[in-house]
Structure 1
Amino acid sequence: MRALWACLCVGVLAATSATKLHNLPREAQIQDGKLAMDDHPLQEDDRLDTDQQSLQMEDEGLAQEYQFDPFLNPNRPEADKSNKHKPVNPAGRPRDCADHLISGSTTSGVYKIYPFTCTCNGPVRVWCDMETDGGGWTVFLKRQKQFRQMNFNRTWAEYKDGFGDPSREYWLGNEALYKLIASREYAIRLDLKYKTGISQYNTYSIVKVANEANRYRVSVQGPVSGTASSNCFSLNSFFTTYDNYGDINTGKCAVARGGGWWHHSSCRYGNPTSPYNQGFNYTCYYTTSMVTKVQVKIRPKVCDTAFKSVYLNSKNCGGSK
């Protein structure tokens, strides 16, 4: 009798689970035996309600999509076991925009990445620059002129977690930035567009970011290149905000200048999180100019000529425009 009851219980549970799985939204679609990633990015002029709807769908379906993910479930017949260039995230998901580029995405826009190694973490939405210098750039700071400017004078906790809308203005988040840079060796790039219409950039070949216990201290190494003065992008200090000013200057740069940044000891060099009023003042050494658009972005240092020839063929990853 006990065996009969056990069989009946197992049968009921199996039927219930099958019914639930049948009704789950299948968000991770399988196409030609491969996991279809986000190859159709949103553009800058997309509506906010579209972004919010996408976020809601992600929250509701995150747990369920693992049931159908061929990388997490290798026993599924649709799983592509022949793909030799899977993204580096242990869950088989794109860790950064370079992974999306390798997968064939070449249009700049909003993509989902998975910078955290724990599979229970959901995706992080970022702006991927797929055009500048070969593409594959993960933008962690994006500012531009818009109807309502984002307030960047925020707390330490907000800068840690990230805020804003990647299709407009946003900060990725210091914890996600730290996790990304800890996984690979990255280059970092600053792009500035001045009110005069002139654009300049500056790139360091290697950037390092410490963990929160070390106040997300940033340091840059290797050669610096670009059209802007190296003083426009002076990075070698602790992160600081108005409520947590552990910078190397006793003048409390974040309190005096607003926003959150890795300030130089003199507080006089560029702060791309300054208050925006038809643009913001950006200082390179002793010259201050009005900037209307800025992006700060990272890309794996491996995006060089050898990498391009092996993985990207005709894509200009790491080459000059």
Structure 2
Amino acid sequence: MSCFAFLLLLTYVSGNDKSALFTKTKVIINKCDQTTNLGIVNAVQNNVDCAILCSSDVDCRRYLYCSSTSSCNLYLDGTDCIMTSDSIDCSCYRKNFDCDQTGCTCPYGYYGERCQKIIEDCTDGYDIGIRNTNQVVASIRPIGASEPVHVLCVFDNGGSTFILNRLVECDTENFNRTMSDYKTGFGEVVFNSWVGLENIVRIQAAHSGERETVMEIYLQVDNFECKIEYRDVTVKNEMSGYAFSSTGAVAVSSFTYCGDALLSSISLLNQSFSTTDIDTTGNYECAIKYGGGWWYKDHVDCTRGFLTGTMDGSGRDNFWFDANAINLVAVQLRFI
């Protein structure tokens, strides 16, 4: 494994001075990877040669070098590298910046002369000119946050920030967590993750009074897929229990309507967020009953929709109305 924590490249190609800085990141073992692979190059002699290949590709923002196979994987986005098996001889590096006389290539979420600035959320990124119609891993730093947060972004149609992502094909993530975990966020962003209640509050605050918050939910249940949008959404602050409110649900063009499971017969309007250690549903103990952080009503049935459960039958699985066996969940915020 390479001993470099940082790797600085200075090259001179065809009359063009070029500099790039890479930071060593983690290699994670998981059975799936949702980041975008730009290709693999074999017979690469060493880590530096792999870095040069990444620096030569304007779209490359991360690479994985494995010495035993002399292979170099190039990636469009992300910070850490994901492998399905032993990674002892592999090293992962993220490109901090890659600049020449024409400008800089930055990791998604960063911008500026030396990629020194960071966007507040994915809508902010769209507003400054970042574009990509696909889901990409980006760094954001909502107003008031001390550290950057990794999220899935779509830099199209005004920009969307994913706040919840679940994928049954990937290694499971424990969503039966404390309020402290749900406040700060957890999980691996590209497959099973929650962005954090405090980050949701901060992201909303940046657009308060200027734009309407829309929460879009996308579900796949076996071979069926659907969407629903909740308009004028607010997640209140910690003093208000992170209570949820919305003016109503609407269908999404070209998609089957999922049905309104949050504001219908068991309405979660103005209900606080509950976890097993801070359950606001009294004797109904909904968070304990379902085993995941969510907005519940103090009602015997608690909710018609629940998206932070298990996905493998080991506990109370995700559901939406009467639809079970949900294999993909994506919840994102847009501002219009």
Normalised by the length of structure 1, the TM-score is 0.63
**Higher strand proportion (structure 1 or 2):** 2
- From 145, 150, 160, the equivalent of 2:173 is 150
- What is the deviation of 1:210? 1.1
| Residues 45, 193 of structure 1: alpha-carbon distance in 2 compared, 3 angstrom cutoff | farther
8 A Cα contact 2:186 2:195, kept in partner? yes
Gaps of 5+ in 1: 1-24, 29-36, 58-68, 72-77, 81-90, 302-321
Structure 2 partner of 1:198:
224
8 A Cα contact 1:44 1:167, kept in partner? no
8 A Cα contact 2:261 2:303, kept in partner? no
- Matching of residue 262 in structure 1 with residue 288 in structure 2: no
Structure 2 partner of 1:124:
149
Structure 1 partner of 2:236:
210
Query: What is the DSSP-based 3-state SS (H/G/I as helix, E as strand, rest coil) of the residue aligned with 1:107?
Result: strand
Residues 192-218 of structure 1, C-alpha deviations (whole Å, 9 max, x = no match): 1002x1111110121111111111111
CA distance in 1, matches of 2:111, 2:169: 40
Structure 2 partner of 1:280:
317
8 A Cα contact 1:206 1:220, kept in partner? yes
Shifted more, 217-226 versus 169-178: the winner is: 217-226
Normalised by the length of structure 2, the TM-score is 0.60
Structure 1 partner of 2:118:
93
Query: What is the DSSP-based 3-state SS (H/G/I as helix, E as strand, rest coil) of the residue aligned with 1:199?
Result: strand
Residues 85-112 of structure 1, C-alpha deviations (whole Å, 9 max, x = no match): xxxxxx9531111233332233312110
CA distance in 2, matches of 1:54, 1:213: 40
CA distance in 2, matches of 1:79, 1:26: 10
CA distance in 1, matches of 2:318, 2:161: 25
- What is the deviation of 1:44? 11
| Residues 169, 53 of structure 1: alpha-carbon distance in 2 compared, 3 angstrom cutoff | same
Identity of aligned residues (%): 26
Structure 1 runs of 4+ with >6 Å offset? none
- Matching of residue 228 in structure 1 with residue 264 in structure 2: no
- Matching of residue 105 in structure 1 with residue 105 in structure 2: no
**Higher helix proportion (structure 1 or 2):** 1
Look at both structures and tell me which one has the larger radius of gyration over its CA atoms: 1
Structure 1 partner of 2:198:
175
Cα RMSD for the two superposed structures: 4.0
Residues 168-207 of structure 1, C-alpha deviations (whole Å, 9 max, x = no match): 1000011111111111142111111002x11111101211
8 A Cα contact 2:131 2:155, kept in partner? no
Gaps of 5+ in 2: 1-19, 24-60, 63-74, 97-109
1:35-46 correspondence runs (5 A): 40-42=76-78, 46=82
- What is the deviation of 1:136? 1.9
